[in-house]
Amino acid sequence: MQSTSKNFKANSTKALADPNLQQALGKMKVGFVEKRAKARAALPEFDALRDQARDIKNHTLANIDYYLETYEAAVQKSGGVVHWARDAAEARQVVLDICAEEKAKSVTKGKSMVSEEIALNAALEAAGYEVVETDLGEYIIQIRGEAPSHIIAPAVHVLKEQVADDFRKKHLHLDPKRSLMERKELISEARGVLRQKYLDSDVGITGANFLIAETGTSVIVTNEGNGDLTQTLPRVHIVIASMEKIVPTLDDASAILRVLARSATGQEFSAYTTFSTGPKKAADPDGPEAYHVILLDNGRTEMLGTEFEDMLRCIRCGACMNHCPVYGSVGGHAYGWVYPGPMGAVLTPSFIGVAEGGHLPNASTFCGRCQDVCPMRIPLPKMMRAYRRKEFEAGLAPPAARFGLDIWGFVAKRPSLYRLATRMAIGLMGWRGRKEGRFKSLPLASGWTDHRDMAAPAGKTFQDMWDKRQGARSAKDLEREAAR
Amino acid sequence: MSSSSRDEILGKIRKARGRSGPIEGFERDRLDARLKSRPRGIIPQKARNTGAALVQDFISRAQGVEATVQDISALSEVPDAVATYLADHNLPAAVKMAPHADLAQIDWTQRPTLTVSEGRSFGQDKVSLTRAFAGIAETGTLMLLAGPEAPTTLNFLPEHHIVVLKRSEIVGAYEDAWDKLRDQVGPDGILSRVVNMITGPSRTGDIEQTIELGAHGPLGLHILVLAD
Ligand code: SF4
């Protein structure tokens, strides 16, 4: 997928002016946040389970070569094949080779963010395969020719009425006069159309929420059951998973599962948690003849041992974006690549470089809610700050920001000049804004004042007020205080 | 391509970890031991009931995710339970049944109008009848294993899924179900091709974040809890 992350500012201006998107985002905000809060309240051990989940992943990452090799051996023992892919191009090639070898014609897919990351659909279509997304949200955006705007709710930006329009345009074999007013009608139509696709397809591709070293097992977590049909009905099952999905044991996976659904949708457990190990055995009545796993690196090994390693604990629950005021205002597409929200602001520059994605960490108010809700206790704001620094050091920050910061830096290093400058500015602002108590616009701060007002300051600087209240500024002041 | 990619990826990991090769010696023994001993973490209080309270937890939590649950006291009650379920849901009198030894004992002659066939599904069956491996009280979750006696297609293709679960098969936490399973797979450790944890019927929130049942999998999940 071509990234437009550099245009975050323009993208978000467009998003803020899109009434359909704003209406859809309004519906999302209440749902996910309330449901997570309820699920958390219903499980007293929740925060302790988060600490434990963090520790399990840290242990795994510290020994990840051992666990990947153990996993590989277990997959092979069960009759499956493991492919290692350094980057997106290699991963796509593995899929294309398998499809060619199997003389496949059509491919069905369960939801997989990694497949978005490697732009798999475009490659498969270019090679002449029919590709059908089967997760309802993914199916909707595939018809619309869009990218997902949320990692667990890919069509969160689309209204029901828009889905009805899209289905009418796409499903031309159905009665044009049929009713598509209700959600139930839309869902049953998609169920009917997709049912045949599973049965006809040769290759089913899914992602993985976990890979289990102990048993060579891949795990998918879904609510619809589409992932299960995708991996049960076609002759070949391909799992595409990034390498950090590995955990040691079934028990470790279960421990992390306890915080996954609760953080994601507020469910205690998703409807289907499916553990797959190898292809169909001789006596099994159904299942795929072949089972392949692609282990993708694509920038992850570069994060190991750096300040961004913590990000590899991410279990893609989406809680950080559900609770993010910036995501809630502009939606996922403004972020311009595959992963949106706070996790995307860290992953995008990690995977496609600071030059392309380094601007996203600026899309944060640093309110810290993402870190507060992250089930894996990932310090997202700290990492966003680190990327801001990198962007600045690389000379990639916009010129106005650099110029302003340079002046500020010069003045801030000289205390008397700083005091003088701030006193003048505050005095001026206090005088200008005192009438209304707020500014509707400020020079150099339109990024703030275009969407909200800035409160007018009281007319004194913080240092002045501090001096007045506490008195103590220097040793001499302290002596004077003591003598009093 | 694959083997050089493999070496390069493992090499990068080791470099980041300050090692020149695989983990060896004492450290490796420690990791091997952890894999074998499978340390359990925190088991939530809600997963720790026993006896009748445990069964009640399973039932009420399964109902909480829109499954329906019915107690039966013998396998011979299955035909009546199935027939009533079909009638209540306006379904045709036909069931696709898993070729499971327990289910094969059921005498269907008392319900001659019901067509019962065995095997996997190809998408034509409205209703399936299968046998669970375990029930997990923690979240009202069923565990089903794929195998010669249990086609996976029966869990997902039909519109309604009826499952027979014995009371004695209900455990507290997910970890308890894994232990029960490990006892069965034996020392080679290869699991059934698929282990399905099923918690209520299929659902989606993909249109405007409002949950609707019956997305791709079953619209109805009916659990027959058999006293034993
Ligand atoms: S960063 Fe944390 S909250 Fe965000 S998706 Fe990943 S695990 Fe979830």
Contact between A271 and B202 under an 8 Å Cβ cutoff? The reply is yes
From chain B residues 78-117, the ones with a CB under 8 A of any chain A CB are 99
For residue A472, pLDDT over 50 is answered with: no
Domains in chain A, number: 3
Residue A180 lies in a domain: yes
Of A136, A228, A277, the CB nearest to B193: A277
Same structural domain, A18 and A162: no
**What mean pLDDT, rounded, does chain A reach?**
86
For residue A315, pLDDT over 70 is answered with: yes
Distance between CA atoms of residues B77 and B99, nearest Å? 18
- Output the six-digit token pair for B65: 């995710």
**Poorest-pLDDT segment among A56-65, A282-291, A440-449:** A440-449
Distance between CA atoms of residues A380 and A386, nearest Å? 10
Distance between CA atoms of residues A85 and A92, nearest Å? 9
Residue A316 lies in a domain: no
Q: B116 has which bridge partners?
A: B95
Looking at residue A420, what is its pLDDT?
A: 67
The alpha carbon of A279 is separated from its chain's Cα centroid by a whole number of angstroms, namely 31
Same structural domain, A70 and A198: yes
Which is higher by pLDDT, B207 or B6? B6
Cβ contact B191–A269 (<8 Å): no
Q: Ligand 1 centroid vs A247 CA: distance in angstroms? A: 17
Which of A150, A263, A314 should be mutated for ligand 1, with most atoms under 8 A from CB? A314
Contacts of A191 (CB under 8 A, 6+ apart): B214, B215, B216
Same structural domain, A115 and A260: yes
Residue A30: which domain range?
Answer: 1-42+328-397
A244-262 pLDDT tens trace: 999 999 999 999 999 999 9
For residue A399, pLDDT over 70 is answered with: no
What are the chain B neighbours of A213 within 8 Å (beta carbons)?
35
Nearest of A66, A117, A46, A57 to residue A310 by alpha carbon? A57
For residue A308, pLDDT over 90 is answered with: yes
Amino acid letter, A280 = K
For residue A191, pLDDT over 50 is answered with: yes
Final residue in a domain of this structure, among A250, A279, A296: A296
Residue A50 to chain B, least CA–CA distance (Å): 11
Same structural domain, A267 and A388: no
Residue A314 lies in a domain: no
Cβ contact A78–B190 (<8 Å): yes
Cβ contact B198–A271 (<8 Å): yes
Ligand 1 atom showing the smallest separation from residue A318 Cα? 5
Which is higher by pLDDT, B190 or B213? B213
B10-56 pLDDT tens trace: 999 999 999 999 999 999 999 999 999 999 999 999 999 999 999 99
Q: What percentage of chain B has pLDDT greater than the value 90?
A: 88
Ligand 1 atom showing the smallest separation from residue A341 Cα? 4
Which is higher by pLDDT, A2 or A75? A75
Q: How many CB atoms lie within 10 A of CB A406?
A: 10
A7-44 pLDDT tens trace: 888 898 989 988 888 888 887 767 889 999 999 999 99
Nearest of B183, B175, B195, B224 to residue B48 by alpha carbon? B175
Alpha helices in B38-187 (DSSP H): 51-64, 78-88, 101-104, 153-156, 174-185
Mean pLDDT of A178-184: 91
**Poorest-pLDDT segment among A462-471, B73-82, B85-94, B211-220:** A462-471
Which of A256, A372, A378 should be mutated for ligand 1, with most atoms under 8 A from CB? A378
Mean pLDDT of A94-123: 95
A124-137 pLDDT tens trace: 999 999 999 998 99
* Burial of A256 (C-beta count, 10 Å sphere; 0-12/13-18/19+): buried
Cβ contact B41–A52 (<8 Å): yes
Whether A162 contacts chain B with CB within 8 A: no
Nearest of A137, A131, A134, A294 to residue A203 by alpha carbon? A131
Ligand 1 atom showing the smallest separation from residue A151 Cα? 5
- Output the six-digit token pair for A248: 């040691």
- Cα distance between the two ends of chain A: 70
B85-135 pLDDT tens trace: 999 999 999 999 999 999 999 999 999 999 999 999 999 999 999 999 999
Of A156, A226, A281, the CB nearest to B216: A226
- Output the six-digit token pair for B55: 């069964």
For residue A448, pLDDT over 50 is answered with: no
**What mean pLDDT, rounded, does chain B reach?**
94
CATH number at residue A155: 3.40.50.10420
What are the chain A neighbours of B210 within 8 Å (beta carbons)?
183
Same structural domain, A38 and A114: no
Whether A444 contacts chain B with CB within 8 A: no
Distance between CA atoms of residues B132 and B197, nearest Å? 10
- Output the six-digit token pair for A435: 């009438």
A78-97 pLDDT tens trace: 999 999 999 999 999 999 99
The chain A residue lying nearest B40, using CA atoms, is A251
| A and B: number of Cβ contacts within 8 A | 260
Residue B31 to chain A, least CA–CA distance (Å): 8
In this prediction, residue A411 has a pLDDT band, given cuts at 50, 70 and 90, of low
Contact between A348 and A384 under an 8 Å Cβ cutoff? The reply is no
Cβ contact B202–A154 (<8 Å): no
What are the chain A neighbours of B194 within 8 Å (beta carbons)?
232, 274-277, 287
A258-306 pLDDT tens trace: 999 999 999 999 999 999 999 999 999 999 999 999 999 999 999 999 9
Pocket of ligand 1, beta carbon within 6 A: A 314-320, 343, 374-376, 378
Looking at residue A113, what is its pLDDT?
A: 94
Per-residue b/e over B71-101, b at no fewer than 16 CB within 10 Å? eeeebebbbebbbebbeeeebeeebbbbbbe
Q: Ligand 1 centroid vs B195 CA: distance in angstroms? A: 26
CATH numbers and ranges of domains, chain B: 1-37 (no CATH), 48-226 (3.40.50.10420)
Same structural domain, A438 and A356: no
Whether A64 contacts chain B with CB within 8 A: yes
Residue A406 lies in a domain: no
For residue A454, pLDDT over 70 is answered with: no
Same structural domain, A196 and A62: yes
Final residue in a domain of this structure, among A367, A397, A427: A397
Residue B184 to chain A, least CA–CA distance (Å): 14
A339-385 pLDDT tens trace: 999 999 999 888 998 888 888 888 788 899 999 999 999 999 999 99
Q: Ligand 1 centroid vs A110 CA: distance in angstroms? A: 21
Distances (CA, A) of B32 to A58, B4, B38, B56: 17, 26, 10, 39
Residue A390 lies in a domain: yes
What are the chain A neighbours of B31 within 8 Å (beta carbons)?
63, 66-67
At which residue do the structure tokens 């069956």 appear?
B125
Looking at residue A441, what is its pLDDT?
A: 53
Residue A313 lies in a domain: no
Cβ contact B202–A272 (<8 Å): yes
Cβ contact A277–B194 (<8 Å): yes
Final residue in a domain of this structure, among A343, A367, A397: A397
For residue B3, pLDDT over 90 is answered with: no
Looking at residue A438, what is its pLDDT?
A: 52
At which residue do the structure tokens 């470099």 appear?
B15
Residue A307 lies in a domain: no
Distance between CA atoms of residues B138 and B61, nearest Å? 8
**Poorest-pLDDT segment among A219-223, A460-464, B61-65:** A460-464
Contact between B100 and B120 under an 8 Å Cβ cutoff? The reply is no
Same structural domain, A191 and A91: yes
Secondary structure class of A222 (helix, strand, coil): strand
Residue A12 to chain B, least CA–CA distance (Å): 21
Q: A291 has which bridge partners?
A: A237
Question: What's the pTM value of the predicted model, to 2 decimals?
Answer: 0.88
Same structural domain, A137 and A213: yes
Ligand 1 atom showing the smallest separation from residue A315 Cα? 7
What are the chain A neighbours of B120 within 8 Å (beta carbons)?
285-286
**Poorest-pLDDT segment among A306-320, B91-105, B185-199:** B185-199
Alpha carbon nearest to ligand 1 atom 2, residue: A374
Looking at residue A482, what is its pLDDT?
A: 52
Cβ contact B204–A187 (<8 Å): yes
Same structural domain, A104 and A174: yes
Q: Give the DSSP per-residue string, A440-451.
A: S--TT-HHHHTT
What are the chain B neighbours of A212 within 8 Å (beta carbons)?
none
From chain B residues 181-210, the ones with a CB under 8 A of any chain A CB are 188-210
Q: What percentage of chain A has pLDDT greater than the value 70?
A: 81
Same structural domain, A283 and A149: yes
Looking at residue A23, what is its pLDDT?
A: 85
Same structural domain, A277 and A346: no
Residue A402 lies in a domain: no
CA torsion sign, A407 to A412 to A418 to A419? positive
What is the number of alpha carbons within 13 Å of residue A402 lying toward its C-beta? 10
